[in-house]
Amino acid sequence: MGGNSAAPRRRGRPPATKSADTHRAILDSARTLFAERGYNGVTNRELAAAAGVTTSALYHYANSKLDLYSQVETDFQTRIYSRFQTAEASNHTFVGKFRAVLGVALDMMKEDPSFARFVGAVRRDVRQDPDVAARLGEQVRQRDRFFLNLVDVGIETGEIAPEDRRLVGEFIRLLLVGLFEGIADSASQHERAIDAITRLLDGGLIKPLPELGFGDDASA
């Protein structure tokens, strides 16, 4: 018989590659929206529209908005901290490792500013929303442990006194909060801040004055 003998196209789920591409688009667009407005400032309809899918299609990839938020955070940590770990592994001192991590943070800020803004959004959402805190609490603690592990390297090398472990860990956390939340929209400002941090760690930014006795200070 004549005519086209090709088998008819089967209907059903999209091919795996297309599904993966759609999932990536959903995660990236959701990260941008969450970074700009926070968890409670975005609707499922807006999340779907930003990714170019229907709301019903969105539920194929995430059971709820909270589930999607958790997926975005997991994806963020996987992408960010895999690069952090590669960077810090090339150095053997606390200062060297931390400087390498700051360099990666700057590179990723230049590639996509939503990464930095998303860090700030997660910190605010964890504080403000009990459901987000319950879902993401362990992931945030894992992030903090990464930097405490860097501090432990500094203790092993003698750069940090053991009794200052928590103090230096908190110092790093506050530096990074300011770095990500305070200047998330300016790569040049971000770069200057990282330069200031590394010079501070090297002791080259602020020079302490010689100690003055009480009498000398009072007569000045």
Helix boundaries (H) for 158-206: 165-177, 187-201
Q: Give this prediction's pTM.
A: 0.74
Q: How confident is the model at residue 214 (pLDDT cuts 50, 70, 90)?
A: low
* Residue extents of the structural domains in the chain: 66-205
pLDDT tens digits, 129-159: 999 999 988 877 777 788 889 999 999 999 9
pLDDT tens digits, 25-58: 999 999 999 999 999 999 999 999 999 999 999 9
* Pairwise CA distance, residues 62 & 73, whole Å: 13
Residues 6+ apart with CB under 8 A from 92: 153, 157
- Which backbone phi and psi does 112 adopt, to 5 degrees? -160, 100
In the block, residue with structure tokens 């931390």: 98
Evaluate whether the domain defined by 66-205 bears CATH number 3.40.50.2000. Answer: no
Residues 6+ apart with CB under 8 A from 75: 27, 31
* Pairwise CA distance, residues 1 & 12, whole Å: 29
